[in-house]
Every structure is written in C-alpha cells, then in structure tokens.
Amino acid sequence: MQIVFRTDSSIKMGVGHVMRCLTLADELNSQNHQITFICRNLTGNQIVLIKQKKYKIITIPIVRNFTTNNIYLEWLGATQEYDAEQTIRVLPKNVDLLIVDSYALDEVWHQRLRKFTEKIMVIDDLADRSFDCDTLLNQNLGTQIKDYKGKVRNDCELLLGCDYALLRPEFPNLREVALKKRKNTTEVKSILISLGGIDTQNRTYDILKEISDNLHIVVVLGGGSPHNEMIKKYTKNKENIKVIVDANNISELMFNADISIGAGGSTSWERCCLGLPTLLYVLAENQRKIAENLEQIGAVKIVSNLKVDLQNILNNFSIWQVMSERAQTVCDGIGVKRIKI
C-alpha cells in the first residue's frame, strides 16, 4: 500500500505529532508499505527527524503574513482550505491511505481530499470537531465512543484509549524488566526532567532552580529548544546534573530514573508503560484532560508547588509506590501492533 502522512512540527506546536506518526510509520514500513510524509516548512520544524528515518518527505511552503485568532490554524499556518489545495498539488498518485494528524483539520479538509485516496485515517486527541474519515485513533486515557457521537461517519472505525497508544518498540521491550526494577526500588535517588522537544516556556530552567543538589538529575532537551544554551550554562558546574540534547535512548533514561518531571502529551504513555511515577506540568491546554485523567487514577501528580510535591514523595515512599503501580496499569506499550490497516 502507498501510505501518506500529513502532519507538522514547529516551535509553537512541538514535535509530538511527528513523533507518534513516525512510530506508526515504522510499524507500517516493517509491513512493506510505502511511506511518504507531507509537512509544512514551519519555523522550528523537525523535518530532519523524518529524513533520518529515510522516508520520502514532501514539504509545502509557509503562507506569508497569515493571521488568525484560532490557535490550531495558527499552528497550521494556513486556512484548512488552502492547506488542502497545497496538499493535493503534491500528493502522490494512487494513495491507498492518507493519515492525518493535525488539530486544525476537520471534515472540510477530509472531504476535499476524499477523491485522491482510498481511505483516510485521523489521529486525534480533542474530539472537538467533525471528521470525514474511515478510521479515527485517539490514544488517550478515558476516551469513549460517546465523545465522537455525531462527529464521525456511522461506519468509521474508532480506535480509542491507551490500548492503541503509539509507542516505539523500545518501550514494551523494556517493560518487564522495568516493572521488576520498580518493585525492588526502596528510595528515590534519580530524577528525569523532560518537558518535550521544544519547551518554549523554559520551564526546565525554573525546575532546576527548585530541586535539591542531593539528587542525581538527568535533563533531556530537544535540539529545537530555544533555551538550550541557558540550561547548559546553568548546569555547567553542577556535578549532579547531566544534560542530554536530542536523546536517542529516552526509554533507557526513563528506565534508570526513579521519578520523572515532565509534561502531558504522548510521553505520558511512555512513562506509564515503564511504571515511572511523574510530577506533571500542563504546558498546553490540549494536555489538561490527559493530565487530569492520569491524576484521577493516581498515576501522576499535577504540580502545584514543585518543592512541596517532590518533598512529599521523598518523605513518603508509599506515595511513589502507589503512583508506579497505577501507572503500570495504563499502557502496555504494544498499541501500534493492534492497529490493522
């Protein structure tokens, strides 16, 4: 099959959409499907990640002087009608499946692309608009069929919940040994700080100023983050802090950590797969529901006061144990294997 992904990354939206599409692309590529990505050449994009995988990449140009009050259209960098027009211009012939991962695109875009592909699949988190697709994937905890009632076709296949979380194989491969390690852990010694690939708010810097020097700290930064030099300068003479840019072993770093300080979004399922307790920051409104659902089941603690929240866990190890046990139940890491094209 010829499969085309339409997704983007940028300084504003981060890299999460591209990363989860790459996970699905890798699985489909292993099944001998032909993979192509179509991405807009947005500021701070991480198209290089797609190129590193050797997939065919087609870029569409930015629209200069485009303005809108809609945050998701702002991320897209165009109206969805014009984006559809641009996509059609560069779309390969004989597309069997078009996979779309963008909060800005709805049934208007899907309907314009219908005659250029056999099927359309949408990856979504929000359930806030109508879709014209054959398959819809929402990997988030607590997502229900009723969330999409009246928003999809009657014959649309719904793949909902963490059973379909798009995790790379390295996570389920480490899951068994990671859970054994958690079971034998008796105290919190090491912290992993990872606020996503961009961290435009520079929350990492604020966090580092709050944490005690008595703990071993690993900081993961994305190569596209605008604050990397500030972080490196601040940590230069701190022997307990290791800074890694564009880590290619994040599963190993999660395995070695006792607790994580991180953001909501797709990384949440990676941490849960490995039973890693998390102090969670909500860095974007679209992460809030994920964060609240995870906190409700006891897998994370949404940060209200970092010093207090962290010290509470350090002083009460039973809290850590419960968080780890609850996190483990959320996601087994093999969701991508459950998706049948």
Distances from the Cα of 205 to the Cα of 84, 235, 268, angstroms: 39, 10, 21
Pairing of strands 2-7, 157-160: unpaired
Domains of the chain: 2-160 (3.40.50.11190), 170-328 (3.40.50.2000)
Which structure tokens are listed for 200? Answer: 């435009």
Predicted confidence at residue 101, as pLDDT, reads 98
Q: What is the DSSP letter of 122?
A: E
The mean pLDDT values, 10 residues at a time, for the chain of 341 residues are 97 92 98 98 93 97 95 96 98 97 98 98 97 98 97 98 97 98 95 88 92 90 87 93 93 97 92 98 89 96 95 94 98 97 88
Predicted confidence at residue 191, as pLDDT, reads 97
- Supply the angle between the helices 203-210 and 306-315 in degrees, to the nearest 10: 50
SS3 115: helix
Predicted confidence at residue 198, as pLDDT, reads 79
